[in-house]
């Protein structure tokens, strides 16, 4: 489908829905996901407060303002706070994702709407509704994209996140249908984000979520001021999907079908490990092998069955992935993730440091990990993991993880998400009193009168 019988474009239909959404329209299970997303995202923004990339982003912004940069003393304008907090939230690739297309909704939507909440004095109910709108949009856009945006050489969180942030910020700012339509049209020209960081493990992927957050906010502000954009930004001949996913024969129905009655935002996934989405089931498979008593020194070789669409990001070139050049690059190396899980028994923030990626024991094991493409692999509909280890004594031990732990089929509990938040804030030496005050406020998100509590997270 491209347009309905009345001639409304995809963006016009989205805009018509957005303009009428109130917090009362958001189902309880989606509200729960919004709260979990806010908790997860804020904890991750705080966890990166001392990291060089977050400090660089803060120092690069030249406009001070009323909005909190989580974990920092300096306050910025709304665009700056959305940018820096978004970069920090996505920086360790530990933020939430979505099965079907690995888009990271939290690191885009939460920083953008929290910045507007402080600038414009929004209530918790308004924030809850706007975050729900943005998360719903990015997930629906991902259902259309599937692996097409990645195949085109772009990062879906950056490309689709800009569009979703425009819709979420437009909702928070009270834009009308025409203005929201223009905001989407403008956002299409602000979307970008190439994935060449895969070549050397450099930091540009970290930049994408924050840039999308502030770009979507800017698109909404431009539309409110009277700037216009194409109404066929999604489905047009030169539209978003033709530009960023040219191999895709797009069906736009998942964007607009059953809006308001079926919420795909109810199916978010929260990561147990601080690395790329598709590596997570392989870590669980490796940990299952470890639980059987297999030690790294027992292993002669490991072969993993993988989905073809994951190879260029997580497995190739194999020699590079077996010895990633940076700690950030290690997050997108399945051989490293398997090896560190087998050696350390975990894959949290502490497993992706410059010291750990240089550990001879881990590197020796990663060098033994290879892959074969499984034509029957369900990716991107389902993320699975497989490890087949041939031991030095000739035995073969095989483990499988059937789904993404933390996803719809095996969700993390609230206690696990809260434990993750607390561990992440402690990692960055956030005072417990500050961490807990923020946590309790976020758990009561929908009932907050204002967001003055964020100012407590302003620190050296």
Q: Which two tokens stand for residue 214?
A: 């502030």
3-class DSSP state for residue 6?
Answer: coil
Considering only CA atoms, which of 391, 377, 285 is closest in space to residue 339? 285
Identify the pLDDT of residue 200: 87
Q: 269, 102 in Cβ contact below 8 A?
A: no
- What pairs with residue 76 in β-bridges? 64
Please, which residues have CB within 8 angstroms of residue 257's CB and are 6 or more apart in sequence? Answer: none
Crossing angle between the packed helical segments 414-427 and 28-47, to the nearest 10 degrees = 20
d(CA 262, CA 254): 11
Identify the pLDDT of residue 6: 59
d(CA 273, CA 53): 20
3-class DSSP state for residue 156?
Answer: helix
Considering only CA atoms, which of 141, 63, 55, 57 is closest in space to residue 98? 141
d(CA 430, CA 186): 38
Query: CA dist 337 to 282, 396, 452, Å?
Result: 8, 20, 40
Positions in the chain short of pLDDT 70: 1-6
Q: 88, 70 in Cβ contact below 8 A?
A: yes
Q: Which two tokens stand for residue 325?
A: 């050049």
Identify the pLDDT of residue 381: 85
Q: 150, 172 in Cβ contact below 8 A?
A: no
The phi, psi pair for 305, rounded to 5°, reads -85, 130
Q: Which two tokens stand for residue 96?
A: 């939430």
């Amino acid at each position: 489908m491209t347009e309905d019988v009345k001639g409304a474009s995809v963006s016009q239909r989205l805009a018509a829905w957005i303009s009428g959404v109130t917090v009362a329209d958001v189902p309880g299970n989606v509200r729960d996901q919004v709260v979990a997303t806010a908790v997860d995202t804020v904890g991750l923004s705080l966890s990166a407060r001392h990291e060089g990339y977050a400090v660089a982003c803060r120092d690069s912004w030249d406009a001070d303002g009323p909005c909190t940069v989580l974990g920092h003393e300096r306050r910025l304008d709304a665009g700056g706070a959305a940018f820096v907090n978004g970069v920090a939230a996505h920086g360790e690739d530990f933020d939430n994702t979505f099965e079907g297309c690995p888009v990271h909704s939290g690191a885009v939507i939460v920083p953008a709407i929290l910045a507007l909440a402080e600038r414009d004095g929004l209530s918790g109910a308004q924030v809850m509704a706007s975050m729900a709108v943005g998360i719903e949009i990015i997930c629906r856009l991902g259902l259309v994209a599937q692996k097409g945006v990645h195949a085109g050489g772009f990062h879906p969180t950056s490309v689709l996140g800009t569009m979703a942030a425009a819709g979420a910020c437009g909702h928070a700012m009270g834009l009308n249908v025409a203005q929201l339509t223009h905001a989407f049209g403008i956002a299409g020209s602000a979307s970008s984000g190439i994935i060449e960081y895969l070549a050397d493990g450099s930091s540009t992927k970290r930049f994408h979520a924050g840039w999308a957050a502030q770009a979507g906010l800017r698109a909404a502000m431009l539309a409110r001021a009277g700037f216009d954009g194409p109404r066929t930004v999604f489905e047009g001949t030169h539209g978003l999907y033709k530009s960023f996913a040219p191999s895709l024969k797009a069906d736009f129905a998942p964007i607009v079908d059953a809006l308001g009655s079926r919420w795909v935002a109810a199916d978010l996934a929260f990561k147990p490990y601080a690395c790329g989405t598709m590596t997570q089931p392989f870590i669980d498979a490796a940990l299952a092998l470890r639980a059987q008593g297999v030690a790294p020194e027992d292993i002669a070789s490991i072969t993993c069955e993988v989905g073809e669409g994951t190879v260029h990001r997580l497995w190739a070139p194999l020699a590079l992935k077996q010895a990633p050049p940076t700690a950030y690059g290690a997050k997108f190396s399945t051989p490293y993730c398997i090896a560190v899980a087998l050696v350390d028994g975990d894959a949290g923030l502490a497993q992706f440091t410059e010291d750990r990626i240089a550990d001879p024991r881990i590197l020796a094991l990663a060098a033994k990990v290879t892959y074969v493409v499984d034509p029957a692999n369900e990716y991107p509909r389902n993320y699975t993991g497989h490890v087949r280890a041939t031991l030095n004594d000739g035995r073969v031990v095989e483990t499988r993880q059937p789904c993404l732990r933390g996803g719809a089929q095996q969700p993390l509990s609230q206690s696990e998400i809260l434990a993750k938040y607390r561990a992440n804030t402690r990692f960055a030496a956030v005072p417990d009193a500050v961490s807990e005050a923020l946590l309790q406020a976020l758990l009561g998100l929908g009932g907050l009168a204002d967001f003055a509590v964020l100012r407590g997270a302003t620190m050296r």
